[in-house]
Structure 1
Amino acid sequence: MTQTQYSLSSVRQDLRPRRVRLWGIPFGVALALAFALFLLVAAVAPQIVAWGDPFATDPAAAFSAPGAAHIFGTDHAGRDIYTRIVFGAQQSLLIGVAATAIGVGGGLILGLGSALAPRAVDLVVGRLIEVLFVFPTVLIALILISILGSGIGPLIVAVGLGTVADSARLIRAQALKVKHGEFVAASRALGRSSTAVLLQTIAPNVIRPIFVIATLGVGQAILWASSLSFLGLGAAPPSPEWGTMLADGRNYLQVAWWISLFPGLFITLSALSLTIIGRFLQQRTEGR
């Protein structure tokens, strides 16, 4: 390398934006982890970060703006918005985790079964997955809710089944990649049985990325579930579920914008934080 090339290379490196890091990880990921930790504490022990009753009403304090007494304000019944958001984290996260478990579990059965089945079966199941993937998750969930009815249970099942096709597509692609890998061929060449190759070689390499898929899926499931609750198809008022709270405030946007703003903000930040964490885990598992 000439002196000029070396100088230009040094200048380019100096001009690159330096990532701010906290505890060895990017600052944005650290913020996402901190917010996710707050949500976890709120879901497991909400009394630690909120001390009121999410269902307690106070008509005299109705429509109070955010301030010292109520940092997120109050709703039309005088209920504290911050307290309701904290206690609602348990319900919203439960919906997200349970729906993701259904989606990833169904995707694992379909995707892994399709990739490892005979070619004819894989062709049929693969086309079925592609057809289901074309339909939006919300549309599939709406169809299922119209059959199952509204409520928390049907909402979890509907959102979970609505995400099966997406999970199955990713898992099938990973399974096919692993199936045709050189290390699988080496395992077979060593005389291992098909069952041993499946359990000891293929399955571990397919299951590892599922944790990343699940992390991304929880944020998306919270978003879909909140959208359906906003339409009145999830938890019924006065539940502190975030989508229901968002719907409660839509009639008061001109006089009390904070009733819908803060639940909507927590829905957005939850999906964003879990997506950032999932992408970070994906980069680490891929060696980037």
Structure 2
Amino acid sequence: MTTLTEPPVGAPALGAPLAGPRPAARRLPGAGTVLAVLVLAVVAVAALWPGLLATYPPDRVDPVAALQGPGGTHPLGTDQLGRDVLSRIVHGTRLTLVLGLGSVLISVVAGTVLGLVAVAGGRVLDEAVMRLTDILMAFPGLLLALLVVAVLGPGTTNAMIAIGAAAAPAFARLVRGQALVVRESGYVQAARVLGTSGSSVFLRHVVPNALPSVLVFATVHTGSAIIAGSSLSFLGLGPQAPASEWGAMLSEGRDYVDLSWGLGVFPGLAVTATVVAINVVGTRLRRRFEGRIPDGDH
């Protein structure tokens, strides 16, 4: 009989740390996520307490100071009416977020209702809802929103409805797919075998377990909704003057960019930074909740 004096090939040496992933380390947010959270924190402060960041009223007109470049008493310069650009961006944060988040809320509610109705209503209703979503999703989202605004007219509320209606079909398909997966999962089948009513199974198991993926998708979609809202405002179909909104600011200042470059840069940077930060956080949430979304193997 021989005595082993060395570990087998490939085995870790005595006293050596075991190789493998460290869950705690993997859960630590990266620098990009931390920066994104900080950006969103600043955006939240600007939306809730604009007076903490703005140095002037957003509608204060000063013709003498019109089209000044960044610096001095106006860190980001002034527009064609002498209004402080920084103050207008800060005060425009709330309206920009209301437009984006409001449209996402409409999308979530309408899409969730449609998706759950399709699952609970039987084969005929399911087929009808899915064909309707196919038709609506055949149109580009912004084009569909433009059509809705053309019917309803410009304004903040109508823009929210338009953007929300354009994105609702995607949410409906997502909810339907997740609900079908949950409905066919093992624990739902077990509940049915034990005699639980169909409505109770639907409300207690199918609906709650289908919602996490909807919330993650809503977070990721918020950035797209903000871009769509700013696009409608840029075209004059969103909030109307003299309201401060980032897309509207870009539209108002586009004819004066040669005289004051900040009018075309800073509102655009505000949109870009906010959307990128939301997408980073949304991607992080999606990766975190991927393992919790039902996959039908339970």
TM-score by length of 1: 0.89
Aligned residues with identical type, % of pairs: 38
Deviations 1:178-226 (CA, angstroms, capped at 9, x unpaired): 1211121111112111121111111110112222122122221111011
**Count of residue pairs brought into register by the alignment:** 277
Q: 1:45-56 alignment to 2 at 5 Å?
A: 45-56=49-60
Asked whether 1:96 is paired with 2:72, we answer: no
Q: 1:159 maps to what in 2?
A: 163
Q: Does 1:223 align with 2:240?
A: no
Counterpart amino acid of residue 100 in structure 2: G
Q: Report the residue type matching 1:283 in the other structure.
A: R
Alignment match of 1:178 (pick from 175, 182, 193) = 182
Q: Secondary structure at the match of 2:119?
A: helix
Hey, which bits of structure 1, 4+ residues long, moved more than 4 A?
A: none
Deviations 1:205-251 (A, max 9, x none): 01122221221222211110110110111122222111100101111
CA distance in 1: counterparts of 2:88 and 2:258, whole angstroms: 21
The answer to whether the 8 A contact 2:112-2:172 is kept is yes
User: Any residues of structure 2 matched to 1:1-288 within 5 Å, and which?
Assistant: 2=9, 24-287=28-291
Greater Cα shift, 186-195 or 81-90: 186-195
Letter in 1 for 2:38: A
**How far, CA to CA, are the matches of 1:213 and 1:138 in structure 2?**
18
Q: Is there any run of 5+ residues in structure 1 with no aligned partner, and where?
A: 7-12, 14-20
Compute the displacement of 1:259 (Å). Answer: 0.4
Relative to the length of structure 2, the TM-score reads 0.87
Name the CA distance, whole Å, in 2 between partners of 1:167 and 1:272.
21
- Greater alpha carbon shift after TM alignment, 87-96 vs 39-48: 39-48
Query: Which amino acid in 1 is paired with 2:208?
Result: P
Deviations 1:92-139 (A, max 9, x none): 111111111111111001112112321222122112112211211111
8 Å CA contact 2:47–2:91 kept in 1: the answer is: yes
Matched residue, 1:17? none
Task: Spell out, residue by residue over 1:53-74, the C-alpha distance to the aligned partner (whole angstroms, 9 max, x if none).
Answer: 0011111211111114222111
Q: Is the radius of gyration larger for structure 1 or structure 2?
A: 2
After superposition, the C-alpha distances for 1:125-154 in whole angstroms (9 at most, x for unaligned) are 112112211211111111111111111121
Q: Is the 8 A contact 1:100 1:218 kept in 2?
A: yes
Counterparts of 1:35 and 1:68 in 2: how far apart (Å)?
24
CA RMSD of aligned residues (A): 2.4
1:2 to partner: Cα distance: 4.3
- Any conservation in 2 of the 1:99–1:157 contact (CA below 8 Å)? yes
State the alpha-carbon separation in 2 of the partners of residues 51 and 66 from structure 1. 14
The answer to whether the 8 Å contact 2:174/2:214 transfers is: no
